[in-house]
């Protein structure tokens, strides 16, 4: 048996993975993931990826939800800091484009694969490595709550999402 026959598809990023990688059980089905990022993304909104009987999920339909965020930094980044931030963010699933200057980070990503919270957590992780109060340099000009509402409104459910 060759390797591809032994692998399963990660429902978030669609990479082929070992069926024992980052495995979880959900609704009596097992799912494997290429990374903790994909596993977290799935667990937050599983029906964005697996739908419901007779209803395809956005991911099953091949949809992408492209978001672009621009973060202005209150202090400039050195070339070494730019390289470290770039490498860390580009390693994340769902990152489509990234432009970093000395005082701006502009990131384009697929919301079905990465969330603003995951990007923010990665930036905090990088900031800890850089030290010197780097995480305080980020000036956020966007609201996480509006993104979460958009994700929830797309999730396939048996009843539509309505505000309560």
CATH number of 74's domain: 3.30.70.100
Question: Is 122 domain-assigned?
Answer: yes
In this structure, are 50 and 80 located in the same domain?
A: no
CB-CB contact of 64 with 13 (8 Å): no
Partners of 68 in beta bridges: 108
DSSP 8-state symbol, 78: P
Instruction: Count structural domains, the chain.
Output: 2
Question: Which has the closest alpha carbon to 113: 25, 27, 42, 16?
Answer: 42
Give me the pLDDT at residue 145, please: 40
Give me the pLDDT at residue 116, please: 86
Question: Is 155 domain-assigned?
Answer: no
Question: Is 156 domain-assigned?
Answer: no
Question: Is 117 domain-assigned?
Answer: yes
Q: pLDDT tens, 95-109?
A: 999 999 988 888 999
Question: Is 39 domain-assigned?
Answer: yes
Give me the pLDDT at residue 13, please: 92
Distance CA 143, CA 57 (A): 25
In this structure, are 30 and 78 located in the same domain?
A: no
Give me the pLDDT at residue 161, please: 53
Question: Is 10 domain-assigned?
Answer: yes
Extract the residue ranges of the chain whose pLDDT is less than 50. Answer: 1, 139-145, 162, 164
CA 134 to chain CA centroid, nearest Å? 22
Question: Is 34 domain-assigned?
Answer: yes
In this structure, are 74 and 136 located in the same domain?
A: yes
Domain interval for residue 116: 66-150
Alpha-helical regions (H) of the chain: 3-6, 36-44, 79-90, 116-130, 144-154
In this structure, are 34 and 80 located in the same domain?
A: no
In this structure, are 34 and 79 located in the same domain?
A: no
DSSP 8-state symbol, 44: H
**Residues ≥6 apart with Cβ < 8 Å to 119:** 69, 89, 92, 107, 109
Q: What is the pTM of this model?
A: 0.73
Distance CA 123, CA 100 (A): 13
In this structure, are 14 and 82 located in the same domain?
A: no
**Residues ≥6 apart with Cβ < 8 Å to 42:** 11, 12, 24, 26, 31, 33, 49
Give me the pLDDT at residue 100, please: 93
């Amino acid at each position: 048996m060759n390797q591809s026959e032994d692998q399963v598809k990660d429902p978030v990023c669609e990479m082929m993975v070992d069926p024992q990688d980052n495995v979880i059980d959900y609704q009596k089905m097992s799912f494997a993931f290429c990374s903790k990022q994909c596993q977290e993304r799935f667990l937050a909104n599983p029906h964005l990826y697996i739908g419901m009987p007779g209803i395809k999920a956005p991911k099953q339909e091949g949809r992408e939800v492209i978001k672009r965020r621009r973060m202005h930094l209150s202090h400039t980044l050195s070339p070494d800091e730019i390289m470290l931030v770039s490498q860390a963010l580009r390693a994340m699933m769902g990152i489509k484009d990234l432009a970093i200057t000395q005082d701006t980070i502009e990131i384009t990503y697929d919301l079905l694969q990465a969330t603003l919270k995951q990007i923010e957590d990665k930036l905090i992780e990088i900031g800890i490595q850089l030290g010197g109060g780097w995480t305080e340099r980020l000036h956020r000009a966007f609201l996480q709550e509006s993104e979460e509402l958009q994700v929830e409104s797309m999730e396939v459910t048996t009843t539509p999402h309505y505000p309560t």
